[in-house]
Amino acid sequence: MAQQDSDVFVRLERFYDALPRPYARAEEIGGLVLFVREGEGWPYYARPRAGAGTPSAADITAARQRQRDLGLPEAFEWVHETTPDLLAVARSAGLDVLLAPLLVLDPAALVPDLPVTGGTLRFLDPAADEFAAELAVSRAVAQLGFGAPASATSPLAGALLTTPAGPAERDAATGQLSDALVASQRDRSRSGDYHTAVVDSPDGILATGAVMRSGDVAEIAGVATLPSARRRGYASQLTAALARRALHDGVDLVFLSAGDEDVARLYTKVGFRRAGTACIGEPAAAAL
């Protein structure tokens, strides 16, 4: 098993380095490489440069300054098992580091398709006329799901809600995406490199998630549920469906990073197993 995991980490390093390159320019800063997105979309991160050894605190400081100059989030990502000494260096350089369980799929343990309570699980169709509108709604779901875990401030009333954010808050948070961003997402979806799945219902989209592929490796990310629709199993079912789609597309290594150990345990129930730790660094609160 140790040898298998070692090979997994090598493949993950190639994935993390390759995934942003078609959509970003790479700037080398000491032992780090900073990916700067070209065009619209989620910003990327700085991470250890292949073959460069452990980045120094000075490298992190320089990368943070470059990110600030470019108006980018000061974001760093790496795999602890691959660059174990970076954790102490990052903390000494003023970063808070989330230690996120890193899980890989055991295809033989992947659960079968199951009925979805109160909704329908489907993939967004890049050829559909409603693709742009549905993509915008799915992003609003993710925004509320990640940003308002228990309750939300209503965009309509500006007051703290006494109930978890739901369809009304989702609709208020939904904005119009640019033509360039929609075109980019259409192209990635048509190529099979990116798929968005949603749980739809009579109240609209309640949960969303995506799978991103580079070669024969794929990452599941952005799995989020509207706070009002939680505890129905949507995250688990979306994750299983995204994993199954990746396998269908020819991927043989599917992985994800969980927010904490409790979330990780949910994913082990659909066929994933713990392989390591993903480190996600950002400025410590005292340094902001």
Judge if pTM exceeds 0.95: no
Q: Which residue has the tokens 């990327």?
A: 44
Q: Is residue 128 part of a domain?
A: yes
Q: Is residue 31 part of a domain?
A: yes
Q: What integer pLDDT is reported at residue 41 of this predicted model?
A: 80
Residues 79 and 113 in one domain: no
Element (H, E) at 3: helix 2-18
HSE, side-chain direction, 13 A CA sphere, residue 133: 5
Q: How confident is residue 150, by pLDDT bands cut at 50, 70 and 90? A: very low
State the chain's mean pLDDT as an integer: 91
Q: What integer pLDDT is reported at residue 152 of this predicted model?
A: 42
Q: Report how far residue 193's alpha carbon sits from residue 179's, in angstroms, rounded to the nearest whole number.
A: 20
- Give me the number of domains the chain comprises: 2
Residues 49 and 171 in one domain: no
Residues 129 and 227 in one domain: yes
Residues 50 and 144 in one domain: no
Residue 205 CB coordination number (10 Å): 22
Compute the average pLDDT of residues 52-56. Answer: 94
Of 288, 165, 162, give the one whose Cα is nearest residue 224.
165
Residues 87 and 131 in one domain: no
Residues 127 and 95 in one domain: no
User: Which DSSP state fits 111?
Assistant: P
Residues 118 and 206 in one domain: yes
Given a cut of 80, whether residue 285 has pLDDT beyond it is: no
Residues 18 and 121 in one domain: no
- CA 43 to chain centroid: 11
Q: Report how far residue 116's alpha carbon sits from residue 120's, in angstroms, rounded to the nearest whole number.
A: 6
Q: Is residue 275 part of a domain?
A: no
Backbone angles phi, psi at 224, to 5 degrees: -145, 150
For residue 195, the domain's CATH number is 3.40.630.30
Residues 11 and 62 in one domain: yes
Q: What integer pLDDT is reported at residue 288 of this predicted model?
A: 47
pLDDT tens across 108-136, in order?
999 998 889 899 999 999 999 999 999 99
Task: Give 141: exposed, middle or buried? Use CB within 10 Å, 0-12, 13-18, 19+.
Answer: buried
Residues 58 and 184 in one domain: no
Q: How confident is residue 148, by pLDDT bands cut at 50, 70 and 90? A: low
- Full residue range of the structural domain in which residue 25 is found: 2-103+281-287
